Amino acid sequence: MEYNKKIITDLNNLEGKKVILRCDFNVPLDKQTLEITDYTRIDAALKTINYLIDKKAKVIILSHLSRIKSIDDIKSGKKSLIPVFNALKKKLPNVKIVFEKNNTDPLLFQKINNMENGSIMLLENTRYNDVNEKGEVVKLESKNDSQLGKFWASLGDIFINDAFGTSHRSHASNVGISQNIGESALGFLVNDELVKLSKAINNPQKPVIAIFGGAKVSDKIPSIKNIGKFADKILIGGGMAYTFLKAQGYEIGISLFEADQLELTKQLLVEFKDKIVLPVDAVMAKTIDDTGGQTYDVGEFNPELEGVDLGEKSIHKFKEILKTAKTIIWNGPLGVFENKAFSKGTLEICKYIAEITKSNNCYSVIGGGDSAAAAVKFGVSKEFSHISTGGGASLEFFSGKVLPGIDCIKNKN
């Protein structure tokens, strides 16, 4: 898919302009201390923020943090953006930054007008609007309430979307604002995502090898169908592999699988019969929390155990296919990598892709989510050509769907 959207550098005369900036500060927090445990998303937004500060704009930042399902989620303060506010103050020590607890306060108009040029106002979690004062779940943000979108749009002159992680959603804080504001553009982060993900999709260098893992086949079917049109091979691992094996009639023990996806899985096996590659063996255990397991060949699985990782034969087979790749698209871990005992498949393939990215001049892309977390955990994230900041958004992108948070931005001409 080709994009012709305005980007931040297409905007002129930003000095004194009120710029609403949608960031993705959905950062992980320590459950006890509420301290941020990974600053990746904040660091990724700094290029756009600093650009706007240098241009002397008034920057009004919106973001969500987690899902808000009850009034307790709000009253507890555990999903507040205050930790992000504190982080921004440390990372931008020379910039005046204020935090507003009420993101729908009518007094915001005057406060924003009084902002200094080159300063920042961070508004509280956008999803606080998903639950009202009575505790009713109303989802004004998540379902793009027209009045909420209009209110936020009225706070500024320009809207910039720099939150790729929510660009596959039609929310009040992206689509709602852009529909009610005169000017809009993409930030550096989102534009970078589109450029780098497009390189793997639009006329990629062949051979193209796609790797899909994780728990659910249902999440990946649209992407498999779209990428399958041009990929040379599609490697399937993780929990979703057992739905494919079940569809072929194999015993899978008590392994995770989606019964309602069996027919669609069978169709994929027919449509891409020369491309889909499944595991030939697997490590099995009683539970995903076990300290070890036993390896069984496909066709000989223990009916009382569940598959938790790739076996040695599967790892070797996947590597043999990957070694000639010039483009690799990876989404989803290949086992229960959070448990060290069952992390070998994900670890070995992750490190191997990192190696051939350099040695083969291969273009390697991770579609965010758990596979990105695995690359970070194993210390090879910088070896990949690109790691997306949005798991769900990258999956939608890979499936060829229009991303609402991108589509709503003004075209260049």
Q: Is the peptide bond before 404 cis (omega within 30 degrees of 0)?
A: no
Distance CA 341, CA 49 (A): 41
Q: Which of 15, 185, 2, 221 is nearest to 210 (CA)?
A: 221
Annotation marks residue 41 as catalytic: yes
Active-site option among 228, 392, 400, 401? 392
Distance CA 121, CA 116 (A): 10
Distance, C-alpha 220 to centroid of its chain: 14
Annotation marks residue 156 as catalytic: no
- Asked if residue 383 lies in contact with residue 357, where contact means CB atoms within 8 angstroms, the answer is yes
Distance CA 104, CA 335 (A): 44
Active-site option among 5, 22, 41, 233? 41
Given phi > 0 = left and psi -120 to 50 = alpha, else beta, which region is 233?
beta
**Which contiguous run of DSSP H or E holds residue 394?**
helix 391-398
Active-site option among 307, 369, 391, 405? 369
Distance CA 388, CA 16 (A): 32
Annotation marks residue 307 as catalytic: no
Annotation marks residue 392 as catalytic: yes
Active-site option among 216, 313, 323, 326? 216
Helices (H) and strands (E) in the chain, counts: 15, 15
Question: What is 184-243 written as a DSSP string?
Answer: EEE-HHHHHHHHHHHHHHSSPPSSEEEEE-SS-STTTHHHHHHHTTT-SEEEE-STTHHH
The catalytic residues are 41, 216, 369, 392
